[in-house]
Amino acid sequence: MRRLVLLAILLLLGAGTYFIMKPDPGYASKQTATDLLISHKTAGLEYPENAEEGFRASLAMDVEAIEMDVHMVRDSRIILHHDPVLSDYNCFAKGDKTRLIVAQQTVETLAALDCINHKVNARYRIATLDHFLEIYRNTDQSKSC
């Protein structure tokens, strides 16, 4: 029994020493000259993901790039939306059973929707990439999209 307790103590000490002495894994939040500060999903924590309001806010932020999600839809145009399926999780009222596959819709169908982002409790419209590029053209164009 004493040997088992001694072995357990040695294992705990060894594990503690390993975690204290192990080298930095490299994914810690150290910023170097080559790192980019990116607005994720067009400020998706403050605004609906990939919505115009968040895109405009991202353009005003001190970031080098703006990440956005794109989907090609049925009429071969590109829209911005995070999820490939619209449901009560990301567009419709809670409990609404409607489910739309984004790629199977047209821009006109999607643009007509009055979506609700439940994460930030805000309404938004699905926009085209062309619309975002037009907004971007009217800026200093210092950010990568």
Alpha-helical (H) ranges within 22-122 are: 52-60, 107-111
pLDDT digits (tens, 9 = 90+) for 55-108: 999 999 888 889 999 999 999 999 999 999 999 999 999 999 999 999 999 999
Residue in 137, 74, 127 with CA at minimum distance from that of residue 102: 74
Q: Which residues of 12-34 are buried (b: 16+ CB within 10 A; e: fewer)?
A: eeeeeeeeeeeeeeeeeeeeeee
* pLDDT range class, residue 29, cuts 50, 70, 90: very low
| pLDDT value for 9 | 58
* pLDDT range class, residue 3, cuts 50, 70, 90: low
Please tell me the distance from the alpha carbon of residue 81 to that of residue 69, in angstroms, as a whole number.
Answer: 6
Domains along the sequence of the chain with CATH: 37-137 (3.20.20.190)
Contact between 43 and 58 under an 8 Å Cβ cutoff? The reply is yes
**Taking 80 as the threshold, does the pLDDT of residue 22 lie above it?**
no
| pLDDT value for 91 | 96
Please tell me the distance from the alpha carbon of residue 122 to that of residue 31, in angstroms, as a whole number.
Answer: 33
Please tell me the distance from the alpha carbon of residue 145 to that of residue 66, in angstroms, as a whole number.
Answer: 5
Alpha-helical (H) ranges within 25-73 are: 52-60
